[in-house]
Amino acid sequence: MKKIFFSAGVAIIAALAAVGCKQEIALTKSGLNPADFDSEYDGQKTALYALTNSKGMEVCITNFGGRIVSVIVPDRNGAFQDVVLGFDKVSDYFPENHATDFGAVIGRYANRINQGRFTLDGTEYQLAQNNFGHCLHGGPKGWQYHVFTVVESDSEHVKLELISPDGDENFPGTVKAYVTYTLMEDNSLDIRYEAITDAPTIINMTNHSYFNLSGDPANHSITEDELYVNAATFTPVDSTFMTSGEILPVAGTPMDFTQPKQIGRDINRRDFDQIAFGNGYDHNFVLDTQRDDSVVALECYSPASGIVLKVYTDEPGIQVYSGNFLDGTTVGKKGVTYQQRSAICFETQKYPDTPNKPDWPSAVLRPGETYSSHCVFAFATR
């Protein structure tokens, strides 16, 4: 396959003019300089990969954390907008500079595991504790802070591999995991996850992109957007964001998005404990899609740009996080300061703390089995 790989030696195109010698930088459509992603982390090389289609859409991905760096889609007027938050150079994603999940592949276990403990086949495992005593997103050095190996790439797709050794953040078993990003001609980004293990373990992968569908996070909050979630129930949390084990109806509560409504309508309802605990939305919704990835799980619409995002998945749940803890201290692409609720995340997943709740869909992976998960981010306008 043709390999689309930007590095310092490839990204800079020397154009010899008739008079003198002039050097020009080949930027991506989103304005990224690929040379700014040509680096190393833990002795492994990082780079930027650009996916494009005939409609003019572009998705840029770095193998550091398997992160989506930019997503360029047309708005209702045909102008192209970058609809995800992130940074202009790979070093800003390094945890010593910014410990963020922007655009990342999350593993081994997305979301939280209660007190970082679970029991599998009679053995109790104690994981790293990095969020109110819980294990969040695989621990303090989850997969979002590892360099993935690129095993395939061309102008339409990139396939990344990560080998997570036995004992990685105290998870059992050596896991070989893959994520494949494919940009489709219908302006959808197809994400497929796979993994195998040499010993019983748990796994729950997702993507943690922060979306602002206006393309202008400096001036438009996601509270202005409309959201529909195909879920009549959700899993409530306590003040440490840990699920109780209950599954409750959304009807009659601020959690009800079964009909499209403005995200900001109920986001400050401090009289409702779930909103008070989360400082907004940070909850798993139990999807009514029956794990059918041809059925819309969620739809978000920006009236500012006319851009619509539809999410499809074969997972049983989706976490909606409304950027409550963005606080104006992070400066992202093009010098934009990311304020509270300047983006929203849609994380397709098993439910939080599933390993400790046997009645919920299992996250166990055993030798001889293949973990698989599918998510589609489909873009359109209206």
Distance CA 334, CA 33 (A): 12
Check if the beta carbon of residue 153 is closer than 8 Å to that of residue 147: no
Give, as one character, the DSSP assignment of residue 280. S
- DSSP string of 307-323? EEEEEEESSSEEEEE--
201 residue type, one letter: T
- Per the annotation, the verdict on 157 as an active-site residue is no
- DSSP string of 182-206? EE-TTSEEEEEEEEEESS-EE-B-E
Tally Cβ neighbours within 10 Å of residue 113: 29
- Per the annotation, the verdict on 194 as an active-site residue is no
295 residue type, one letter: V
Q: Dihedral through CA 308, CA 313, CA 317, CA 322, nearest 10?
A: -30
How would you class 76 by CB atoms within 10 Å of its CB: exposed for 0-12, middle for 13-18, buried for 19 or more? middle
Distance CA 78, CA 80 (A): 6
* Residue whose token pair is 């499809």: 312
Name the active-site residue from 146, 157, 208, 283: 208
* Beta partners for residue 41, in sequence order: 44
Check if the beta carbon of residue 46 is closer than 8 Å to that of residue 62: yes
- Phi first, then psi: give them for residue 169, nearest 5 degrees: 55, 25
Among residues 155, 35, 30, 36, the alpha carbon closest in space to that of 83 is found at 30
Give me the active site residues, please.
Answer: 208, 347
